[in-house]
Amino acid sequence: MTLEAILAYLHLLAILTMVVFLASEAALCRVEWLNAKVVERLARVDMVYGIASIAVLATGVARTVWGVKGSSWYWSNPLLHIKFTLFIVVGLLSIGPTMRFLRWRRQLRATGALPTEAEIRATRKLVMIEAHIVALIPLAAVFLARGFGG
């Protein structure tokens, strides 16, 4: 039971960290706020977001393997597959902003140029789509935790 609690805690901590840094990206990636310091910060924030996302995946898998309910219960439940699919969709969507943040930083360091308004708006739109999809994952999680879908 202690292992289950520790795994749940680590998973929740990773989720909260991921959400905080995704929200930070959404807050920073605005035309009216973007300057050289923000470009540098976005690249760092995105790195932490990526690390937290990997931690979410690792702790989630650990819960299915070593958790009380057992891997066969989790992996046979369609709600887990919905959660996992949404998580993968968010991960795939995050590739675009990550590549742009790195490109913006490289461009800034090489030439001092900031991204265009159109680039900033398009990138923020992707980050916001990610954030809205992430908000759906807990819906599947609460039903999964209560035994639905199995």
Q: What is the pLDDT of residues 17-40, one digit of tens each?
A: 999 999 999 999 999 999 999 999
Domain 2-145 - what CATH class? mainly alpha
The DSSP H or E segment spanning 150 is none
Are 15 and 56 spatial neighbours (Cβ–Cβ below 8 Å)?
yes
Angle at 116 between CA 111 and CA 118, to 5 degrees: 160
pTM, rounded to two decimals:
0.93
- Which residue has tokens 């959404």? 26
pLDDT of residue 143: 94
How is residue 4 written in tokens?
Answer: 């289950």
Average pLDDT over residues 86-97: 98
CA 22, 27, 31, 35 dihedral sign is negative
pLDDT(150) > 80: no
